[in-house]
Amino acid sequence: MRLISGKFGGRVIKTASGPGYRPATSKVRQAIFSMLESRGVDWDGLRVADMFAGSGSLAIEAISRGADYALFVEKNGRAASLIGDNLKELGVSSKEYKVFKADLFNVLSKTPDKPFDLIFIDPPYGYDLLPRALDEVLEKGWLSEDGFVLAEVEDKVVPPVSEHVDSLDLLVNKLYGQTRILLWQK
């Protein structure tokens, strides 16, 4: 997979393959980063979290564009290892990222040391994990004030509703083929 822009633009990262892996296409990634930038996201100094990271392509793209720090949470050991390998291959300092090989909900059960400005949530299709992940992100203080949450889900998913989600403004609900992109801001 080729990174789109920034200091690593044009560089290729390796992605895991197999059941449940569907790295975001370049068209969808381009749309995601365009919608974030058009809403004023300034990458410099940004803290990013990639939940259900898979290949980590979204947070790696954010680092390429200037994000200061990225947290990757991926349950599959092979995929988590590949994220670390890609970051090392790109020359990203170990101070700029952390890769957790862990179940996301175990990680989200704890309050972070510092909240994140942008959180990507890309759950596996067909398991309805977005509502729980979004609630826990908000309940445990993972999202900074004015922070963004971007979810990449299957086309049939409707934006979740809950007491916690009501603290967010839904800015984007857009289909790209079989992928729905939801973007909220706190």
pLDDT band at residue 21 under the 50/70/90 scheme: low
Strand partners, 100: 73
pLDDT exceeds 70 at position 177: yes
- From first CA to last CA, the distance across the chain in angstroms is 31
Position 43 scores a pLDDT of: 96
The stretch 23-39 carries a mean pLDDT of 88
Position 19 scores a pLDDT of: 59
3-state secondary structure of 45: coil
Position 161 scores a pLDDT of: 87
Instruction: Give CA separation, 37 vs 15, 149, 157, in Å.
Output: 25, 14, 24
pLDDT band at residue 102 under the 50/70/90 scheme: very high
Per-residue pLDDT tens over the stretch 66-98: 999 999 999 999 999 999 999 999 999 999 999
Per-residue pLDDT tens over the stretch 115-168: 999 999 999 988 999 999 999 999 999 999 999 999 999 999 999 988 889 899
3-state secondary structure of 86: helix
CATH classification of the domain holding 145: 3.40.50.150
- 1 in a domain, yes or no? no
pLDDT exceeds 80 at position 18: no
Range of the domain at 82: 6-16+26-185
Position 162 scores a pLDDT of: 86
Position 44 scores a pLDDT of: 95
Q: For all residues of the chain together, what is the average pLDDT?
A: 93
* Cut 0.75: pTM above it: yes
- Using an 8 Å Cβ cutoff, are 101 and 73 in contact? no
Can you state the angle between helices 57-64 and 77-90, rounded to 10 degrees?
Answer: 20
The stretch 171-185 carries a mean pLDDT of 95
**Based on the structure, what is the number of domains in the chain?**
1
- Using an 8 Å Cβ cutoff, are 152 and 122 in contact? yes
3-state secondary structure of 58: helix
Position 22 scores a pLDDT of: 60
Per-residue pLDDT tens over the stretch 35-57: 999 999 999 999 999 999 999 99
- 47 in a domain, yes or no? yes
Query: Please, which residues have CB within 8 angstroms of residue 51's CB and are 6 or more apart in sequence?
Result: 73, 104, 108, 119, 120, 121, 122, 123, 133, 137
